[in-house]
Chains A and B, each alone.
Chain A
Amino acid sequence: MRLSPDELIFWQYGFLKLNATIVYTWGLMLVMAIGSKIITCKLSSGLDRSRWQNILEIIVTGILKQIEDVGLDQPQKYLSFLGTLFLFIGMANLCIIIPGYEPPTGSLSTTAALALCVFVAVPLFGIEEQGVGNYLRSYTEPTVIMLPFNIISEISRTMALAVRLFGNIMSGSMIVAILLTITPFIFPIVMTALGLLTGMVQAYIFSVLATVYIAAATRTSKSRQKQKTGD
């Protein structure tokens, strides 16, 4: 029994290997890119739109709305990163209804990679927004003593992101697999439906947490400026 699709290796050459995670990810990437391309190649700016365009517009505007709600003033700037996070995780989790498919998000390597991306992106967006000095100074807030704790929290929340997503998806897959051996009828379907729900919830949680982190990194300087002007 496999805990992760990483263990299903199709091709290996020394350090390089082609496991199921990478292959399914490529498949997802292909479907998403080509689907977007097909739908958006005949966009209309008028009042008559295709239903696929409507769906995409709903998704995109929904994501924008969420980002804005969290507290980022310019949602378009972060849309590519945060939107892709949500869509990729969501697509990967929704596809579990396809038989023989194993979600790449069920691999700790994938979730760790995504968490690393967030871990790198947060300071990048923070520095872009308020400069290197201000951003680094935010680690010493409210006092210098808090610096190690801030760093630890930065690392730990990244790890938490990775493990949370991995644990939920992996557990869902495991439960379905175990239930298949115990009660092959009905229950695996119910658990798969539950897995769809938890998958969407996890995608939402992952992207919203990433948004919150980025917002925290970019907003500190502004709140500080506000406090200064208030003083």
Chain B
Amino acid sequence: MLIDWFTIIAQALNFLILVWLLKRFLYKPILNAIDAREKKVADELADADAKEAEAKKEKEEFRRKNEEFDQQRAVLMNRAKEEVQAERQRLLEAARKEASDLRAKQQEALRNDKQNLNEAISRRAQQEVFAIARKVLKDLAGMSLEKRTVEVFARKLHELKGEEKEQLSSALSASSGSVLVSTAFELPQAQRDLVKKAIKEALDIEIQLRFETAPDLVNGIELTTDGQKVAWSIADYLTSLENSIDELLNERPRSEAKSESEPESDESESKIEHKTKMPAKPISDTSKPEEESTTKPESETKTQSDTKPAETKTQSDTKPESITE
């Protein structure tokens, strides 16, 4: 008999036991492991997908930010360029203004210097001219000149008219005591008498005269009473000339100041330039007569000094007259 019933039952039981054992130890763990792995893989894939999506999003964000940044940079760049342009313009303007100011100041300083120099030169020339004139006349003064001087003084007294004459005569008559007559040199008696005679003839007054020598008079004669004075001297001419030149020199700076006080503008600047140039001519003009005046007496003195010993009164006579003229 090939079939053993006990064995069949036992094998069936064995098989069932084996089914349970394998289910317990083989299928369940293996399937669980596979499921776990598949789940893990699926999770990882999902995670990767999520990360990829996130990365894409971030990339988009980054790109957007980049573009924004580029735009901002361009805007800032443009603004900076404009600012730089404006700043450059401003600085250029400031530099130009400063340069023009500086130039104006320099011109002003130059002008002042020139003016000062001119003034100094003219003052110095004036002083020199007068000093030389004084010296020459002093040197030339002598007895013959004294005589001539007295004669001229007498003629002058004769020439007095009207009011002046009355004033003088009244003053002389009113004066108590002697009347002072100052001369540069000691007058000889003849000259003194001539003076007395001249006064008497001219004014009809008999007065006591007192003679004094005053070297400051250069070459002249002076009659002094209380409050009245009749004088003739070369020094007077020199002083009057000095005064007139002083006036001329003082007038020039005044006119310059006037021109500078005018409002400044492009046109006015050119005007000022013209004006500043214009006064330069008068200055040179004024300086010319000075030079002439300085050179003239020199040449005259030279000729005079050369001719002095040889020549006679006529020359000395003509000279004061020429001056009076």
Contacts and interface: CB of A to CB of B under 8 A. Distances in A.
B25 A37 contact: yes
Contact of A16 (B6, B23, B32): B6
B40 to A, nearest CB: 6
B92 interface: no
Interface stretch (A109-117, A179-187, A191-199, A215-223): A109-117
Contact of B18 (A19, A29, A108): A29
A36 B25 contact: yes
A3 B14 contact: no
Interface class of chain B by DSSP: helix
A60 B2 contact: no
B8 interface: yes
A60 B31 contact: yes
A88 interface: yes
A22 B12 contact: no
Chain A, interface size category, equals 35 or more
Contacts of A113: 7-12, 15
B30 A40 contact: yes
Contact of A45 (B10, B16, B20, B40): B40
A166 B4 CA distance: 14
A4 B4 CA distance: 11
Contacts of A79: 27, 31
Nearest to B36: A45
B7 A107 contact: yes
B22 A80 contact: yes
B37 interface: yes
Interface in B286-301: none
A44 B33 CA distance: 7
B11 A114 contact: yes
Contacts of B7: 6, 17, 19, 21-22, 107, 109-110, 113
B19 A84 contact: yes
A61 interface: yes
B19 A81 contact: yes
A15, A16, A29 — which one has the most chain B CB atoms within 10 A of its CB? Answer: A29
Contacts of B22: 32-33, 36, 80, 83-84, 87
Contacts of B25: 33, 36-37, 40
Nearest to A61: B34
A138 B29 CA distance: 37
A32 to B, nearest CB: 7
Nearest to B25: A36
Chain B, interface size category, equals 20 to 34
A140 interface: no
Contacts of B14: 22, 25-26, 29
B3 A112 contact: yes
Contacts of A44: 33
A43 B36 CA distance: 11
Given A43-B29, A56-B30, A108 B17 contact: no
Contact of B27 (A21, A29, A32, A60): A60
B48 interface: no
Nearest to B19: A84
A117 B16 contact: yes
Contact of A109 (B4, B18, B27, B33): B4
A80 B30 contact: no
A29 B17 contact: yes
A167 B20 CA distance: 28
Given A26-B14, A45-B33, A80-B20, 11 more contacts: A21-B11, A29-B17, A33-B21, A40-B30, A43-B32, A47-B37, A80-B27, A83-B22, A114-B11, A116-B12, A117-B16
Interface of A: 3-4, 6, 15-17, 19, 21-22, 25-26, 29, 32-33, 36-37, 40, 43-47, 53, 56-57, 60-61, 76, 79-81, 83-84, 87-88, 104, 107-110, 112-114, 116-117, 166
Interface of B: 2-12, 14-23, 25-27, 29-34, 36-37, 40
18 contacts: A4-B2, A17-B6, A21-B11, A25-B11, A29-B17, A36-B22, A36-B25, A45-B37, A57-B33, A76-B31, A79-B27, A80-B19, A80-B22, A83-B27, A109-B7, A110-B8, A112-B8, A113-B11
